[in-house]
Amino acid sequence: MSKVLHHHRPILFCGGGSLGHIVPSVAIAQALKKLDPQTPVLFICQKRADDIAFIRQAGFAHRSIVAGKFPRGLTVRWITFPFLSLIAVIQSVTLLTKPRPQLIFSKGGFVSLPVCLVGWLMRIPIVLHESDAVVGMSNGLIARLAKTICVGFPHPDGLAKKQSVVITGNPVRAIIERGSKDAGKRLTGFSGRKPVILITGGSQGARAMNDAVDAQFDALLNAGDIIHLTGKGKKIDRTHAHYWAREIVTDELPHLYALADIVITRAGAGTLSELAAATKAALVIPIVGLANNHQVENAKRLLKAHAVRVLPQTELDSLATTVAALARHPHELRRLGAALHDYFPAHADVSVAHIILDACAKTR
């Protein structure tokens, strides 16, 4: 059991570059505050409007730094990267000196690297969380400095055997499990008598998926009622009584999950873990070629466990027929949802919060 701390020194959360880092960090911070309401929490993130808005909405203090993403291939970023990295290190020194945090929790991403490097030099303990089946470049470096490494997938590729690794699962906001099917019906106007298919490309949306929906619109409607989260600025010009579309949603998402019979999604660990918490069947369309090809690896792990179905992006022209075939077998949808639910350990937010508090107590 974690020891409750009563320090005024904060626990610092760092990460960003996408909401995929911020959302699970907020879930952990919320769990931590329930365990120990007296300990302050401070976030360090990139100067991105979405990141800052999400942290503020959750009620946490934040500071922003300018960080350079490591360039890939021949790009002008090679010119700016060293200067941005130096600025990020200087900003990290300032932020970590006063107030000096008890501990740094890193969710990874290029924002975390300068913060963790400075924290390690200042002998501030670091707890790291890696969501994906393969460790990213920044997390691979931070793992060498971290006291404990929490992982979402069992035995992710890219960690040394001697490192202290705990399989916690991926943190999910508690609200995800509180969705109401009736509230989902009221939002969408759907009766629930037809299969409900939720299509989402993640926090940024997915133009290729949106184009497939547009091209196969009538065939998809024959398979069921459609909820479509298109992504900011990626709305498609379609209207229909059985098609409910939004660019983004926030508090409505748990109710949409509750209503859906099948979710078509990318293979980001955050969304997959939310679907696991909501016990939903998933048809996964991984993006090929992202950092360390992590979405493909995530999909491979879950496919091997018979916990998802996978549709390669090169086969998006068969989206409607694939979905229709799945929608005709409700027993298989329930089996897939249960298998995905069982794959990831539950209550990862609380597990990681206990690890953080235990690490703080040991440094006193």
Read off the pLDDT of each residue in 28-36 and give the average, rounded to a whole number: 96
When the pLDDT of each residue in the chain is averaged and rounded to a whole number, the result is 90
pLDDT number for residue 1: 47
In the predicted model, is pLDDT for residue 186 greater than 90?
A: yes
What tens digit of pLDDT does each residue of 210-226 get? 999 999 999 999 999 99
Q: Which of 27-31, 90-94, 308-312, 351-355 has the lowest mean pLDDT?
A: 90-94
Percent share of the chain, pLDDT over 70: 92
pLDDT number for residue 66: 80
Read off the pLDDT of each residue in 306-313 and give the average, rounded to a whole number: 97
Read off the pLDDT of each residue in 226-244 and give the average, rounded to a whole number: 93
pLDDT number for residue 160: 74
What tens digit of pLDDT does each residue of 3-29 get? 555 457 999 999 876 777 899 999 999
Residue 158 or 191, more confident: 191
Percent share of the chain, pLDDT over 90: 72
Residue 197 or 288, more confident: 197
In the predicted model, is pLDDT for residue 2 greater than 60?
A: no
What tens digit of pLDDT does each residue of 53-68 get? 889 999 999 998 887 6
**Of 273, 42, 280, 248, which Cα lies nearest the Cα of 173?**
273
In the predicted model, is pLDDT for residue 287 greater than 80?
A: yes
Map the chain to HEC letters. Answer: CCCCCCCCCCEEEECCCCHHHHHHHHHHHHHHHHHCCCCCEEEEEECCHHHHHHHHHCCCEEEEECCCCCCCCCCCHHHHHHHHHHHHHHHHHHHHHCCCCCEEEECCCCCHHHHHHHHHHCCCCEEEEECCCECCHHHHHHHCCCCEEEECCCCCECCCCCCCEEECCCCCCHHHHHCCHHHHHHHHCCCCCCCEEEEECCCCCCHHHHHHHHHCHHHHHHHCEEEEECCCCCCCCCCECCEEEECCCCCCHHHHHHHCCEEEECCCHHHHHHHHHCCCEEEECCCCCCHHHHHHHHHHHHHHCCCCEECCHHHHHHHHHHHHHHHCCHHHHHHHHHHHHHHCCCCHHHHHHHHHHHHHHHCC
